[in-house]
Structure 1
Amino acid sequence: MEMSSSGGNQWDRLALEKNQSLDLEKLQLSSYAEKAGAQLSSPRYQTFAVNERFRVKGSAARHAAFQSDVAWIEVVKKGTGSSEENTFSYYAPLREGRFDQDVRLFDGKGTYQVTVRLPSMEEEDRFYDIARFEVINVNPRKYRDIAYTRAGRQAGLYIEQPARGRVAADGRFKLQGRTKDLGVKRLMLRLEKGDRHWEQLISVKNGAFYTEVPLLYGKGEHKLTVMLPDPQRDRYFNEGASLLIDNRSSAKKEPIVYFKHYQERGVKLTYPLAGGDKADMKYRIRGQIDPDAPFAKETKHLIVQTKKDGLDATYFVPVKNYRFDGFFWLRFGPGKYEVTVNVPEITQEQRDYFRFFGVARFHVVNTAQKDLRNLLPSRGIQSDSPAIRQLAEDLTRGKRTDREKALAIYEYVAKTMDYDVHKFRTDAFEYDDSALKALREKTGVCQDYSFLAAALLRSIQMETRFVQGFAEGNRHAWIEVKVDGRWLTMDPTWGSGYLDGSGKFVKRYTTEYFDPNPAVFSKTHTRTGVLY
């Protein structure tokens, strides 16, 4: 008998008993089967019982005239309607007119209607019935295959993980596979639950792909569709395969918004996979960059920007060996932050500003109640560095008041640093400009003086602000430190010396710019804001 089984067990015996009770009528073929010279060697009966699976096997003598290279086998569970969940299709390859497909009855015990169709001999994308029959599944187990479309089969799409088409997961889902069409560079994933859906492009390299998919819409069944690029239409995708994931987690997440540079620069976030996470003051980000992507070798860091209530802060996450794994701070107290991940523009042009491009955007909720905007590390201000902290402790040892401590740090920075006139004249700014770089090289411009002074002060828990503004018509930076409940201004750059008439830096330490008279200071300095 043509009915296959999963081995000698109670369900095989039950299927056998059921068939013995049935009037096994011979399978009837349609008029199109006669026209195409088609016959089925399996199955042989109009109605029969099986343990989950059976085989459809046949051939067509006039296959050379077919307008497609697959046979279409559609399976519908009776009594459940014709919804997508209750219908399953197989596209069996036609090889010299022969086809052979193992069919699984996907929804457990019940009666299924199966229709076998062959391609038209005159029209593309048209199929005609050659047989229709009923199969009774005696096994209650629900086991669904991955549903491949004709386009998926033609591209040689194959899902390696998971191995079946209905699985359970807990908030996230691993997808791995390959395609024989090595020209495919991207796939689109579409996640659906009810009327909600989300789409994301993923990279394919040497025919292989791997990703983790966030199950965004809480507990219940999500449908995932893997879509292939349409070879005829740019930016269009066709369904290649689909599967169902039963999410056991009730947590609902926000989708991450990906921008075009995410794909173009080969960025892949592995954490987070979705937005809406909660965090306690800081948040982790990790992932990788495709070594073959444009500027991958030159991309030494990502730029993370956070925004909350009109305030924004910037952080750098290092990239080493094409991988990144770091964190950034949620410095403005509790609440919802908008986070944008960026890649730097790679250019040889020297500028007094940096340009970068967004690759992803999501939200994070900070549950920490403290607002530590003026104490936490920030871009260029590595106040958590052990070397910075040790130096600050050495400089302030024996100082009794915060004012004395601030003056000691002001004096160290002003006396130790030399002003880099070339950098000032040529806008030779670099992404790695920072307190640690200033400490190492002992030279820089106003931002570098301020980076170092701010890092030293914050490292010993003195609230410090990096101030932006202008001084005598030039962009300038200095700092403000909280001492005895008020903000004390200090400009260690101007306290270090001055440029003479020939443009040469003259070293001359002065305390004139430590806690200066506000009226006098405002004659030369104009404050425009604070940089975090």
Structure 2
Amino acid sequence: MSKRQARGWLISLLFLLLLGACSKESAPPEKDTQPTAEQQKEQEKEKENEFEAAVTKKNTELESSPLELTSYAEEVGATLAEPTHTNFAVNEFVTIEGTVEQHDQLQEHYVWIKIQFSGDSITDTYQEFFTPITNGTFKQEAVLFNGEGEYRVTVLLPSKTQSNYYYDLADFKVFNVNPKIQRDMTFTPFAQEAGLKIKDPDSGYMKGNKVFTLTGTIDPTNDDKNLLMIELTKDTQTWKHIIPIKNGEFSYDIPLFYGKGVHKLKVYVPDKERDNYYQDGTVLYIDNESDLVSEPIIYMTTYEERGVHLISPAYGGEETDLTYRIKGTIDKDAPFAKETTHLYISTKKDGEEALEVIPVEHYQFDDEFYLRFGPGTYEVTVSVPEIKEKKSDRFYYYNVAQFSVTNTAKDQRDLLPSRGVQSDSPKIISIANELMKNSMTEREKAKAVYEYTAKSIAYDVDKLKNSDFEWDDSALKVLELQTGICQDYTYLAIALLRAGGMEARYVAGTAGAGFNYSRHAWVEVKVDGEWLTMDPTWGAGYIEKDKFVAYYNEDYFEPNAEAFKTHTRHGVQY
């Protein structure tokens, strides 16, 4: 072989080697990086062996001595099978087990175990267990809640002569070699006697994100004690709330209001002897991973009394653009549940207030309301109507919840639909389009609405005399009935004007002469940049011998001061 041939052969061989190295087909198969179930078990076993070795090593370093019980042990015949020494190491949990010969003479039926961590903790540095004494024996396996480190444990037994009084039985130190942060869920004697059980979560410490769901059960035999109290704290901030129990069960979404970090949740059970009083039940810690800081909703006592349950919002302080949705249910077994056909929504901003109504159907509500006064923060109040048989010209209601909402949309108060003014209804829009032509001036459009309203509606004398007002009185309702009083004429006129793109507002005041005057309502509409007054009720006719006489007139369309001296303006309602 020549030198040239040899060089060519080497180049070809090198090319084949490079091609083989880059070829997908010739590359060795990738290994599966996920361990199998068998491998996971092996890893866990190895880890466990490491901890057990650490326990053995630590126990050789610690100075330990036999555990001595107090003199009270001899008095009640108490012994401890575990632990046996005063200073020892464990992996994750410590076992306290013993007997009490004279257990039937004790005033309480629980062993009180107090565990204190020596050092800083992401939760509280202590935890308490109330372990039942059953037939003279007790046993508690207690997780050492803050992971690796030293703990001091005190075991106490109840007094034979005093209720809710305990004496020391033993005191010892224990060192946990396991760094895992975990926490038992413990229950006070009050909680155990009430039958409190937490289904979810199943641990006293867990991770959370914005909202945390608490579900559980309680002894259903106490029908008159159907409420729990919860208390959520973080740093110096605290929120308390009452949650309902139904058929011995409860479930509630708890917002983690205070941003990232550990929230402490205390659950209280109702006191058996005292109404509206609660006792400690259990404590949970939720480590919130969200940075979101929100505002608690304020709930009034009527919230529970009337069976209201807000599904949304869960917290206040949210931002929205013009509208905000509210969703929830009414407990069908609550007082006046069937009669609660609607809710009132009051929105306040900078001294201005609007009232909206949302319907309740089949004990459920899900609707939006407007934030009509422009950008800024609103105080929103949700209320239930007062239920009474007697008819009235005023609506009374009870506040049940209050929260804040921030609106980013511009001020559209005089163009948006409002209570009784369904300017977004297809029927209203259709009539408005027929009345208000593009070729008309703004004054002509307003005049067309005035004339239509005054001529289309008959005044309802009986409604005024009998105070036969209803929460759903509105523009659509008056169109259907073709009768109404001043508020109904006003609802219809404003709805038509707003549907036609004209700013209009409801004016409340009084009308009449001398001592013969009464509450009244009329319309102000913006025409060419100025507010024009019109009263379609008085333009429709008059009352004679308790009968309405239809007599259309234009005297109350843009009346002058002399013609309108019968009216006293109190202010804009919406």
Q: Normalised by the size of structure 1, how large is the TM-score? A: 0.92
Q: Give the deviation of 1:268 after TM superposition.
A: 2.0
2:572 partner amino acid: V
Percent sequence identity over matched residues? 48
Answering whether residue 572 of structure 2 is matched by residue 522 of structure 1, we say: no
1:508 is aligned to 2:551: yes
Q: Distance in 1 between matches of 2:323 and 2:56?
A: 68
C-alpha deviation, 1:54, in angstroms: 4.1
Query: Residue type of the partner of 2:170?
Result: A
Return the letter of the residue paired with 1:41.
A
CA distance in 2: counterparts of 1:353 and 1:80, whole angstroms: 60
Aligned partner of 1:211 in structure 2 is 252
Counterpart mapping for 1:256-275 below 5 A: 256-275=297-316
Matched residue SS, 1:454: helix
CA contact (8 A) 1:155 1:181 kept: no
Instruction: Give the equivalent residue in structure 2 for 1:463.
Output: 503
Say which is worse superposed, 51-60 or 84-93, in terms of deviation: 51-60
* Equivalent residues of 2:151, 2:174 under 8 A apart: yes
Aligned to 2:13: none
* Alignment of 1:436 onto 2:476: yes
Q: Are 1:361 and 2:402 matched, yes or no? A: yes
How many residues align? The count is: 523
Q: For 1:349 and 1:189, how far apart are their aligned partners in 2?
A: 39
Which residue of structure 1 lines up, in the alignment, with residue 31 of structure 2?
A: none
Distance 1:257 1:457, change over 3 A: same
**1:179 aligned residue (214, 218, 226):** 218
Structure 2: distance between partners of 1:181 and 1:40: 36
Aligned-partner Cα distance in 1 for 2:419–2:386: 17
Task: Give the direction of change, closer, same or farther, for the CA distance of 1:38–1:12 in structure 2 (3 Å limit).
Answer: farther
Residue 419 (str. 1) matches residue 459 (str. 2):
yes
Is contact 1:381–1:455 with CA below 8 Å preserved after alignment?
Answer: yes
Distance in 2 (CA, whole Å) between partners of 1:182 and 1:420 is: 54
Write the letter of the residue equivalent to 2:137.
Answer: R
Equivalent position of 1:289 in the other structure: 330
Match of 1:115 among 137, 149, 154: 154
State the Cα deviation string for residues 220-261 of structure 1 (Å, max 9, x = none).
Answer: 222111112222333332111111122223333333222221
- The answer to whether the 8 Å contact 1:12/1:50 transfers is no
User: Which of 487, 497, 501 in structure 1 is aligned with 2:531?
Assistant: 487
One-letter code of the match for 1:488?
Answer: L
Would the alpha carbon gap of residues 39 and 464 (structure 1) be closer, same or farther in structure 2, given more than 3 Å must change? Answer: same
Following the alignment from structure 2 to structure 1, what is the Cα–Cα distance between the partners of residues 326 and 287? Answer: 27
2:541 is the counterpart of 1:497: yes
Q: Contact (CA 8 Å) 2:330, 2:364: kept in 1 or not? A: yes
Q: Counterpart amino acid of 1:203?
A: P
- Partner amino acid, structure 1, of 2:117: K
Q: Which amino acid aligns with 1:392?
A: A
**Other structure's SS at 1:358 match:** strand
1:64 to 104, 119, 128: 104
Range 43-52 or range 349-358, more displaced? 43-52
CA deviations 1:143-166 (Å, max 9, x no partner) are 112232222122111122222112
CA contact 1:275–1:362 (8 Å) conserved in 2: yes
Give me the whole-angstrom Cα distance separating, in 1, the residues matched to 2:179 and 2:367.
Answer: 49
Structure 2 residue corresponding to 1:278, chosen from 316, 319, 327: 319
Alpha-carbon RMSD: 2.3
The 8 Å contact of residues 123 and 262 in structure 2, kept in 1 or not, is answered as: no
Q: CA deviation at 1:309?
A: 1.9
Does 2:58 align with 1:16? Answer: no
99, 123, 128: which one aligns with 2:167: 128
Amino acid at match of 2:140: Q
How far has the Cα of 1:80 moved from its partner?
4.4
Residue 408 of structure 1 pairs with residue 448 of structure 2: yes
State yes or no: 1:238 paired with 2:284.
no
Shift of 1:428: 0.6
Task: Look up the equivalent residue of 2:569 and give its one-letter code.
Answer: R
The runs of at least 4 aligned residues of structure 1 exceeding 6 Å deviation read none
Does residue 1:88 correspond to 2:127, yes or no?
A: yes
Contact 1:16 1:49 in 2 (8 A): no
SS of corresponding position for 1:390: helix
Q: Which shows bigger deviation, 451-460 or 503-512?
A: 503-512
- Offset at 1:466? 0.7
Partner of 1:376: 416
Per-residue deviation, 1:379: 1.0
My pick for the range that moved more, 380-389 or 64-73, is: 380-389
3-state SS of the aligned residue for 1:351? coil
What is the CA deviation profile of residues 341-397 of structure 1, one whole-angstrom value per residue up to 9, with x for unaligned ones?
1111101111111111111222222222x1111011111111122222222223324
Q: 2:423–2:496: 8 Å Cα contact kept in structure 1?
A: yes
Q: Does 1:340 align with 2:376?
A: no
CA offset at residue 435 of structure 1? 1.1
Worse overlay, 297-306 or 253-262: 253-262
Shift of residue 27, structure 1, vs aligned partner: 4.3
Distance 1:391 1:57, change over 3 A: farther
Structure 2 match to 1:326: 367
Instruction: Determine the C-alpha separation between the residues in 2 that align with 1:8 and 1:58.
Output: 31
Tell me, which stretches of 5 or more residues in structure 2 are unaligned? 1-41
Contact persistence 1:168–1:248 (CA under 8 A): yes
Please state how far the C-alpha of 1:45 moved relative to its aligned partner.
4.4
Looking at structure 2, the residues matched to 97 and 412 of structure 1 have their Cα atoms a distance apart, in angstroms, of 89
1:250 aligns with 2:294: no
Q: Within 1, Cα distance between the matches of 2:344 and 2:479?
A: 23
Unaligned runs of 5+ in 1: 1-5
Structure 2 CA distance for aligned equivalents of residues 467 and 417 of structure 1: 19
Distance in 2 (alpha carbons) for counterparts of 1:398 and 1:113: 85
Please tell me the residue identity of whatever aligns with 1:201: I
Counterpart position of 1:3 = none
1:438, CA displacement in angstroms? 1.1
From the superposition, tell whether residues 8 and 373 of structure 1 become closer, same or farther in structure 2 (CA, over 3 Å).
Answer: closer
Q: Point out the more displaced range, 405-414 or 429-438.
A: 405-414
Answer yes or no: is the 8 Å Cα contact 1:14–1:138 preserved in 2: no
Residue 150 (1) aligns with residue 186 (2): no
1: CA distance, partners of 2:262 / 2:286: 5
Structure 2 residue 205 is matched with structure 1 residue 169: no
**Distance across 1 between alignment mates of 2:439 and 2:535:** 21
Shifted more, 140-149 versus 417-426: the winner is: 140-149
Alpha-carbon shift at residue 219 of structure 1 (Å) = 2.3
For 1:527, the aligned partner's letter is R
- Specify the code of the residue in structure 1 equivalent to 2:509: G
Contact 2:511/2:566 (<8 A) preserved: yes
Shift of 1:398: 5.5
Q: Assess if the C-alpha contact under 8 Å between 2:220 and 2:247 holds in 1.
A: no
Does the CA-based 8 Å contact 1:399-1:405 persist in structure 2?
A: no
| Deviation by residue 1:272-318 (Cα, 9 ceiling, x = unmatched) | 23322222122222222221111111011111111222211100121
Partner SS state of residue 494, structure 1: coil
Give the Cα separation in 2 of the matches to 1:268 and 1:64.
Answer: 46
CA deviation after TM superposition for structure 1 residue 74, in Å: 1.8
Give distance in 1, aligned partners of 2:333 and 2:242. 17
Deviations 1:192-211 (A, max 9, x none): 12222121112122221121
